[in-house]
Structure formats: structure tokens, C-alpha cells
Amino acid sequence: MFGWMGKLLRIDLSTQQIKEERIPESVLSHYIGGKGLGTYFLYHEVPAGIDALSPENRFYLAAGPLQGTRIPITGRCSAISKSPLTQLYIDSGMGGYLGPELKRAGYDLLIIQGHAEKPVWININEDGSTIEDASHFWGKTTHETEAGLRKEDPKSQVISTGPAGERLVRFACLTHNYFRNFGRGGLGAVFGAKNLKAIAIRGSRHRISTPDPDIERELVKQLAQRARAAKEKGHSLHYTGTPWLVDYSNSIGMFPTRNFQATHFEGHKKISDESLEKVYHKNKRRMPCEGCVISCAWTVKEPDHRWVDKNVPGIVALPEYETLGLIGGNLGIDDPVAITRANYLCNRLGLDTISTGNVIGFLMELTQRRLLPKGLQTNGIEFGDAESVIKLIPQIAARVGIGEQLAKGVREFASELGPKVTRLALHTKGLEYPAWDPRGKLGLGLSYATAAAGASHLRGWPSTTKPPEVSAVTILDSLIEQQNLKILKDSLVICHFTHSISPRLSIKDCVTLYSAATGEDTSLEAIEQIANRIWMLARMFNIREYKDTPRKYDLLPYRFMHDPVPDGPTKGYTSFTSPQDFEDSLTELYQRRGCDADGWPTEQALRNLNLTALSNP
């Protein structure tokens, strides 16, 4: 067998049992790896109706056929679970070195279940796997934990939860490499609920073999050439990383501004890639994922900021676009150093910067509109108040003061305040919004509404530059194609930033990569069928949790549907030409995806996808 190790490692924290299991070849061929493999096991192993913070929930860390090979842009891995934030399906992707290390340790999948009686960490290496006492790490930051574990074994790759995860903040993340994160949905709280502080993995130093080394070498060469071609054309991701998107997003009217009240931030130039370059140009350094030919991540070497903990090894990362959008423009902050500091705090404490920026933005708008109950003390936090944001982030992680309410996420916090403020709460299925306002791109709102995870920008972008000036029905073919491409990338696993090679990665490329890694012949039709199957199975996991028809969960917030953009490039637009256009487009998407008008999978679609053993509730 090539591409796959054919094994999973199952660790039960309740019984302290560790065992290897074979993964049926039929499961691997039907779900590939990464997101697909984790989704399969999540659906079949996690019972409907359980609380995501209960011992019955499970955490799946999954690599794909490409991890550990010489094929570049494959340093990522996937994590899948039931989300503490949404109580629905969640998958999250992360770069770095963890995925390849899991493969070189001999596994395609790691499953964590149960609940430890005391804090523990898991050690996985060539000599075996053990559950170790983590009492001395409990309460420590992610930086302190990773530094401590790497001191014991410098060659290990570590992922840990921070104080936010220990305190079950619903959007706590898991941190690797000091600044890379499984950010969305509260996976850090899944660790915290299980009394699991960290996982350290060290595999062999050998690359994973592919069936034909000549084909592998040619692919390595081609992908490197395509990356160079994009760089020579001036693609900014190769030069500055994701911060270049600040200017771009602002120019097309999609940049989140003051809790998405607007889409054009007057201070965007102060937090753009050019401004970060002016502040940090002497100390910037690249920090690529394993085997990457793009190298988009940047960190700061030896920063002189007084707020950096000099006693703990760690990394100050330059904020990515999503952080610049949600903790910058969305909070009315135009100070790049303040945003960098907030990002550093979130990485140390284990907080997702997207949800953090959303909950604070929501709080700021409540203050602005004088809708915050008198009993909630905020000291008058307002848009643009960077100092108060810096103070508030540790309060959220510690769940003290107003941080206790914010730690629940936008949806639950809003529900506690009553219907008067729910229109200001920006989420889909409980997951807060990324830094791309759907009122600026035709059909993007449909991607947000139908994603199993909720409001994620990594679930498919329609290939159009148009704002929502015509019906979203016109871009459904493109949306479905891009949804499937994202699924395949997360299952193989290969980076989403392969849009920054020239020509950009396509589904046809995924066929080539799959065959090169596994030696199995496949076709465009067959691999699209796999993507459709994974999309449907993730949807079916959610359907088991719904209290009503699925259609009633595939929604956008009131603001994006009814409040036109007040100014800027997309002035006057909402996410759809009308509420009826949204309903019509959703119905058409359902039909093309194999669902009926209420969003239930049809029996014919289940047969076509080899999911007939599964049925609607």
C-alpha cells in the first residue's frame, strides 16, 4: 500500500488504553484521508445528541496520502470533532509539521476519546505511545507547554491547548509551532474537557514512499515551477504573506469594519502589508510549513516589544489577514503593533483570533448602541480602543468579568441578552464570521450558509469578481466545483494557498496527486464523487443534531441579508438581490447536491454516493 499507512492509533483517556487498528482499504479509497477520513469516523463513532464537552466526544487528527512525501505544499493536517461552540460538525486545518510527523510515526489517523482523571499529555514516537502526567503543565500557556515538551525531546512536534481551552472557552484553539492553530470551533476546549494538555509526536526521519519515484520527482519539479511562475508574476502571497489581502479586500468592499457595519475601513493602509513591513522589516523572517515552495508565514526575530515574555521560548508571528481583519478593521483598530500584540496573546492563551475579534466587535457595537445591560461591566469599551482589547483578551481566556459572557461565543451571548440584540449577532450555525463580508461577492453567502462547519471562508468561493448584483443561481456550478476542490485539498491534504501557484491547483490536479501518492488509478468523475460523498456525510452528521428541517439552519445573519452596505465599493448591496433570491438559490443548490427542498438528502443521492446504509433521522 502506498500513500496510506493503513493504521490508526486509538487512545482512550478513560481506560488508559492505547491500541493500533487497521483502517479498511475501502474506507481509505472512499474518503482519501484528512477531512474525509475524520468525517467518516466522526459520523460512525460519535453518538447523536451528546455534548461536545462530554467524554463521548472524540478528537480526530488526520493526515492524507500526500503528507510525509517529497511533494511540496503538503505540510498541513486536519482535525475533526463535534464543536463545543456550535454543537455541530467542525473540521479545521493547520500548517506546520504535525501532519507529516503523524504519517512518519506510522498512522493516517489519531483518535482521542474518553476523559482523563487528571491532566495528561500524550507521547507518540517510534518506541511506542504513552499517556503522561501533565499536572506541571496545567495552567501554562501554549508557549510554555511546547517549550517544555520540546526540551524533553527537541525533535518532537507538539500541539497543545492553552489556559482558554482548560477553562472551556467555546472558541479555544489548539496551537502548534507557537503560532499555528487549529482555530475554528473550539477544539482547544475539546482537549480541556478531556484533561488533555498536549500531544507530542516524533516519527522516523524517512520520507513516505510513493509507487513511482520518477513521477514524484516530476510533480515536485512542476509544483516548484508553478510556484516560481506565480512569484515572477508578482503574486503578493510569495512576498508578504496574507497581509496583502487587507488592501485587496478593502478595495472590493469585503473588509469587516466595526462589527461588519461597513465593508471599507478608513484605516486599512495603517495595517496593510506595507505598514507591517515598515514596522518589522529589520526583524522579519519566513517560517514555512514542511516542504513548502510558497512560504507565506512570517515571524519576528528577537522583537524588542516590552510585552514579549523573554523568559519563555516562543515566537512572535506577524498577524495573518484574518487577524488583521477581525482584530483590526472589525474593531476599528489601525495600530499594527497593537494587533500583533493581540495576536501574540491569542496564540499564547489558545484563542481563535477570528471568533475573538467577532465577540469583541459584538460587545463594542452593543456599547455603541447602548444595548448592553447595566449589570455587565465593560469600562466603556469602544471601537478603536486597542488598550481595552489587550486587557480583554486575557479576561476571555480566564472567563472573568465580561470575559465569562464573551467566552460562550456570539450566538449564546446574544441569546442571553434577548431578541433585541440577536440581529447584531453575526454567525451561521453558531460559528462566527471570517474577514470576508458576503455582501461583496456574488454567491459567497450561499457558501457560508450551507457549510457544515458554519461561517467558514475555507469551504468554497465562487469563481467570480462580481458583487451580488444578479441572482446567485448564476454561479452555482462554480460554487459546487470550489466546494469540492476545498474538500479534496483538505483530504489529500494539500494547502489551500495553491491558488498562488500558476496555473492554480485544480480538481484535475487532485486526480494526478492522488494517483501519484497512492498508485491507484482514478478519474475526474470518481474523485468528484468522493468530494460529494464527504460533503454529504458532514451534512448528515449535523442533521442528526437538528431540531427542525435542515433548511432552517442554512441561514445568514440578518445584517448580511437586510442591511445594505452603507458606503465604499459595494455601497447598497446585500448578500443577495433579495431574500427570495437566497431561497431560490438555496433550493437549486440543494437539488444539485442531492437534497430535497427542505435540505434532506434524497434516497437516490445516498445510493449514488454509496451511503445507503445511512438514513435520514
CATH at 225? 1.10.569.10
Are both 177 and 290 inside the same structural domain? no
As a whole number of angstroms, the distance between CA 302 and CA 304 comes to 6
> Residue 439: CA atoms inside 13 Å, Cβ hemisphere, count?
30
As a whole number of angstroms, the distance between CA 410 and CA 390 comes to 19
Question: Sorting pLDDT into bands at 50, 70 and 90, what band is 515?
Answer: very high
Taking alpha carbons only, the member of 122, 124, 115, 109 closest to residue 39 is 109
Sheet of strand 298-300: strand arrangement:
284-286, 298-300, 316-317
Q: Which three cell numbers stand for residue 342?
A: 493581540
Structural domain ending residue among the three candidates 377, 409, 432: 432
As a whole number of angstroms, the distance between CA 495 and CA 468 comes to 28
Are both 463 and 363 inside the same structural domain? no
What residues are paired with 180 via a beta bridge?
176
Q: Give domain status of residue 208, yes or no.
A: no
Determine what percent of the chain is predicted with pLDDT higher than 70: 99
DSSP state of 406: H
Q: Give domain status of residue 488, yes or no.
A: yes
Q: Give domain status of residue 80, yes or no.
A: yes
Residue 533 confidence (pLDDT) above 80 = yes
Determine the length of the chain.
617
Q: Answer whether 132's CB lies under 8 Å from 32's CB.
A: no
Are both 58 and 164 inside the same structural domain? yes
Residue 212 confidence (pLDDT) above 50 = yes
Residue 63 confidence (pLDDT) above 90 = yes
Q: Answer whether 338's CB lies under 8 Å from 354's CB.
A: no
pLDDT at 216: 96
Are both 395 and 452 inside the same structural domain? no
Residue 71 confidence (pLDDT) above 70 = yes
Helix (H) or strand (E) run with residue 298 in it: strand 298-300
pLDDT at 204: 87
As a whole number of angstroms, the distance between CA 92 and CA 84 comes to 13
Residue 174 confidence (pLDDT) above 60 = yes
Residue 358: how many CB atoms within 10 A of its CB?
Answer: 31
Residue 303 confidence (pLDDT) above 90 = no
Are both 176 and 234 inside the same structural domain? no
Exposed/middle/buried for residue 458 (C-beta within 10 Å: 0-12, 13-18, 19+): middle
CATH number of the domain at 487, please: 1.10.599.10
CATH number of the domain at 92, please: 3.60.9.10
Q: Answer whether 60's CB lies under 8 Å from 110's CB.
A: yes
Q: Give domain status of residue 476, yes or no.
A: yes
Question: Sorting pLDDT into bands at 50, 70 and 90, what band is 1?
Answer: confident
Q: Which three cell numbers stand for residue 76?
A: 498541513
565-568 CB contacts, 8 Å cutoff, 24+ apart: 565/253, 565/262, 565/263, 565/437, 565/439, 565/440, 566/261, 566/262, 567/262, 567/264, 568/253, 568/262, 568/263, 568/264
Q: Answer whether 431's CB lies under 8 Å from 185's CB.
A: yes
* Max CA pair span of the chain: 69
Are both 102 and 237 inside the same structural domain? no
What does the pLDDT average to over 423-434? 97
Are both 28 and 176 inside the same structural domain? yes
Specify the number of domains making up the chain.
3
Q: What are the b/e assignments for 29-50, b being 16+ CB within 10 Å? A: ebbbbbbbbbbbbbbeebeeee
- pLDDT tens profile 256-282: 999 999 999 999 999 999 999 999 988
Structural domain ending residue among the three candidates 201, 230, 255: 201
Choose the weakest-confidence range: 286-290, 376-380, 570-574.
376-380
Are both 26 and 118 inside the same structural domain? yes
Question: Sorting pLDDT into bands at 50, 70 and 90, what band is 294?
Answer: very high
Exposed/middle/buried for residue 313 (C-beta within 10 Å: 0-12, 13-18, 19+): middle
Q: Give domain status of residue 440, yes or no.
A: no
Q: Give domain status of residue 113, yes or no.
A: yes
Residue 615 confidence (pLDDT) above 70 = no
Are both 193 and 265 inside the same structural domain? no
Question: Sorting pLDDT into bands at 50, 70 and 90, what band is 126?
Answer: confident
What does the pLDDT average to over 113-140? 96
Choose the weakest-confidence range: 373-387, 435-449, 515-529.
373-387
Q: Give domain status of residue 209, yes or no.
A: no
CA dist list (Å): 277 to 293, 295, 300, 319: 21, 16, 11, 12
Choose the weakest-confidence range: 110-114, 311-315, 327-331, 417-421.
311-315
Are both 271 and 132 inside the same structural domain? no
Q: Answer whether 540's CB lies under 8 Å from 575's CB.
A: no
Range of the structural domain that residue 237 is part of: 217-432
Rounded to the nearest integer, the mean pLDDT of the chain is 96
Are both 403 and 470 inside the same structural domain? no
What does the pLDDT average to over 441-453? 98
Exposed/middle/buried for residue 474 (C-beta within 10 Å: 0-12, 13-18, 19+): middle
As a whole number of angstroms, the distance between CA 5 and CA 65 comes to 9
What does the pLDDT average to over 411-424? 94
Q: Which three cell numbers stand for residue 417?
A: 441578552
CA dist list (Å): 18 to 12, 62, 107, 110: 6, 17, 13, 11
Tell me the Cα Rg of the chain: 23
What residues are paired with 78 via a beta bridge?
62, 93
Phi, psi of 341 (to 5 degrees): -65, -40
Phi, psi of 393 (to 5 degrees): -60, -50
Residue 340 confidence (pLDDT) above 60 = yes
Structural domain ending residue among the three candidates 405, 432, 459: 432
Q: Answer whether 507's CB lies under 8 Å from 460's CB.
A: no
Residue 616 confidence (pLDDT) above 70 = no
pLDDT at 617: 44
Are both 455 and 601 inside the same structural domain? yes
3-state class (DSSP) for residue 319: coil
Taking alpha carbons only, the member of 87, 166, 175, 177 closest to residue 134 is 166
pLDDT at 128: 92
Q: Which three cell numbers stand for residue 418?
A: 434577548
Residue 474 confidence (pLDDT) above 90 = yes
